[in-house]
Amino acid sequence: MKKIGLVGGLGPESTSDYYKGIIAAFAGQDGYDYPEVFIHSLNLGPVLKMFAVQAWEDLADLLVASVEALARAGADFAAIASNTPHLVFDQVQARSPLPLVSIAQATARRAAQLSLARPGLLATLTTMGSDLYQRILEPLGMEVKVPSAAEQALIQMKLDDEIERGVFREDTRRALLGIVARLKQEQGIDGVILGCTELPLLLTRDELGLPFLNTAAIHVEAIVDYCRG
């Protein structure tokens, strides 16, 4: 069983969800034989400032330093427990002392298994404005659809003001589902990628006749698979 390293804190709510998911995957199957898990929880504030000014080299440096800390702690491999930092995943992987498990690649495999053709993407403003998922999914024949500019701004506001702070409101859930419903009607989406690891904390199940891809849970599954090796 390999020792797991998590780059966490981006944000803290989903990092806790990752840990619980990893432990739950081993509960009842392996007795009390749980994996060793090392978590390096970063300060979210400076990272958000890096996103705002697109300081990608600084972000890569920070993530590499975090993975190096996990390696020194004894981890055998690592994962970044957040979607948006995967914008610099290739740069981090190239410099990493440990193998890395990608959330975007794991999600792409799940989308392919579901035979999606036009997945919608709900995520942070930075992720929705990037090609993080497009560059992985388009070669697989999928066309990623994103919300309108106003809808993207609303999603980011709800993440900043509520979800990242552990506040989960029913009216916010309904507003997000309204965005999904519009994408289904007007863009013909056949699935939804919850491309921020906090979004599944509010959108907890498939709805509107669409599969909701919980990227945090998909990533946890990939981490557990690699751990078992």
- In this prediction, residues 22-50 reach a mean pLDDT of 90
Question: Are 197 and 118 part of one and the same domain?
Answer: yes
| Helix 103-113 × helix 215-228 angle, to 10° | 100
- For residues 87 and 175, state if they share a domain: no
Residues 111 and 210 in one domain: yes
| Mean pLDDT along residues 60-83 | 98
| 25/37 same-domain check | yes
Q: Are residues 55 and 97 in the same domain?
A: yes
What is the structure's pLDDT at 29?
Answer: 66
CATH no. for residue 177? Answer: 3.40.50.1860
Q: Stretch 3-22: mean pLDDT, rounded? A: 94
Question: Are 66 and 141 members of one domain?
Answer: no
Q: What is the pLDDT of residues 85-140, one digit of tens each?
A: 999 999 999 999 999 999 999 999 999 999 999 999 999 999 999 999 999 999 99
Same domain for 26 and 71: yes
Strand, coil or helix: what is 191? strand
pTM above 0.75, yes or no: yes
Mean pLDDT to the nearest integer, 179-201: 97
Query: Given the structure tokens 């440096």, which residue do they identify?
Result: 61
What is the residue range of 19's domain? 4-102+217-228
pLDDT at 28: 73
Do 165 and 205 lie in a common domain? yes
For the beta sheet containing 4-8, the strands, ordered from the edge strand earlier in sequence to the opposite edge, are: 37-41, 4-8, 77-80, 100-101
Q: 118 and 204: one domain?
A: yes
Q: What is the pLDDT of residues 126-177, one digit of tens each?
A: 999 999 999 999 999 999 999 999 999 999 999 999 998 889 999 999 999 9
Half-sphere exposure of 224 (CA within 13 A, CB side): 19
pLDDT value of position 105: 98
126 and 183 in a single domain? The answer is: yes
